[in-house]
Amino acid sequence: MARVYNFGAGPAVLPLEVLEQAQAELVDFRGSGMSILEHSHRGKEYSAVHEEVVANYRKLFNLPESHAVLFLQGGASGQFAMLPLNLLGEGQIADYTHSGAWASKAIKEAKIIGQVNIVADTSKAVPARVPRPDELKLTPGAAYVHITTNETIGGTQWKSFPKTEAPLVADMSSDILSRPFDVSQFGLIYAGAQKNLGPSGIALVLIRKDLATRVSPKVPVFFRYSTHLEENSLYNTPPCFGIYLMMLYSRWTLKVGLENLYRQNREKAGKLYAEIDRTGYYRGTADVSCRSDMNVTFRLPSEELEEKFIKESSAQGMKGLKGHRVVGGIRASIYNAFPPAGVDALVAFMKEFERKNG
């Protein structure tokens, strides 16, 4: 079996042992004579999976008792809408930082629900960057303050988080569990699972429980955080197989350890940025102060060379390096499960490509 180096931004590479275990127990889940795909979400087999993944995340995030773990459908985009639907009450203002393409989508949804104040805007900055925590012009009495901790398309990442009076809310889709941080400073964190957690279609939500009570009775029951909180994400049939994969991935993350992953992530990104900076042939698109450890974005001297780069790297088993269709260029997504050897292979390829085409 030949596994390629998958630099895709999401759905993204998963740990091989997660895939292999899922494969091994797909048909007969732990001697039950049924697949986990066929088990009731109320049965003891699935319940054990559900309980374990919640417990694993509580450990990994060092989650305080004040916060709950939820699994919600509709990915991170669902949360763009559900968040203001629940937390942006009538007559209130929500503060949003505008750091690029994903922040823009969150802002767009919130504006449908209520009043939004853009408290810092770096969306047009060249090189790309996220706001500095001290740049935010916060609204007194805001319902919450929203940040996008890692802009997957722009390749930028918040290196420290702002201190806010209002609950701090983060879209952590593309850098969740890539580094240790203090969850208690956040009112709510959400992340599409398809980068560092598991398969697509699910959002992991960490919510301070008191925030779930804020919701207006006009919000349909299904779209209330309180519904899923009260029912431990089992209000309706959850995406059981996806949550099972998240459980396996969370085991792997616990085994490797968050500190180790953080060190490895910085080493992987550091190698690529060092190569980008080595001669000036490659040009990083993100400001050095906030270069992402997860999505490394760069350009070549021309679009023709970029096309050649993508084609030739792909032929050598390095897939998914094409930048997002909106910005072009090259993007190497190197999430937790991306092997360090794949980064070494890309660095070697970059050197050789420059030697031949520079």
- What is the contact surface with ligand PLP in residues (CB under 6 A)? 10, 75-77, 102, 148, 152, 171, 173-174, 192, 200
Q: Quick one: which of 286, 298, 292 has its CA closest to 346?
A: 298
Least CB distance to ligand PLP at residue 158 (A): 12
- Closer to ligand PLP at the Cβ: 45 or 171? 171
- Closer to ligand PLP at the Cβ: 75 or 238? 75
Least CB distance to ligand PLP at residue 130 (A): 11
| Sheet containing strand 67-73, strands side by side | 67-73, 202-208, 188-192, 168-171, 145-148, 93-98, 115-121
Question: Quick check: is 252 catalytic?
Answer: no
Least CB distance to ligand PLP at residue 319 (A): 17
- Closer to ligand PLP at the Cβ: 6 or 174? 174
The closest residue (CB) to ligand PLP is: 75
- Closer to ligand PLP at the Cβ: 103 or 258? 103
User: 195, 268, 293, 322: which is the annotated catalytic residue?
Assistant: 195
CA 157 to each of CA 38, 86, 109, 246: distance values in angstroms, whole numbers, following the listed order: 40, 26, 22, 24
Least CB distance to ligand PLP at residue 248 (A): 19
CB 183 within 8 A of CB 64: yes
What is the C-alpha to C-alpha distance for residues 98 and 168, in angstroms, rounded to an integer?
15
Least CB distance to ligand PLP at residue 321 (A): 16
Question: Quick check: is 171 catalytic?
Answer: yes
- Closer to ligand PLP at the Cβ: 139 or 336? 336
Sign of the alpha-carbon torsion through 41, 45, 46, 50: positive
CB 212 within 8 A of CB 194: no
**Single-letter amino acid, residue 145:** V
Sign of the alpha-carbon torsion through 27, 33, 35, 36: negative
Q: Quick one: which of 248, 198, 196 has its CA closest to 21?
A: 248
User: CB under 8 Å to 62, separation ≥6 — which residues?
Assistant: 183
CB 278 within 8 A of CB 349: no
Q: Quick one: which of 356, 338, 255 has its CA closest to 296?
A: 338
- Closer to ligand PLP at the Cβ: 130 or 347? 130
Question: Quick check: is 137 catalytic?
Answer: no
Least CB distance to ligand PLP at residue 73 (A): 10
Query: DSSP class of residue 308?
Result: H
Catalytically active residues, by annotation: 102, 171, 195
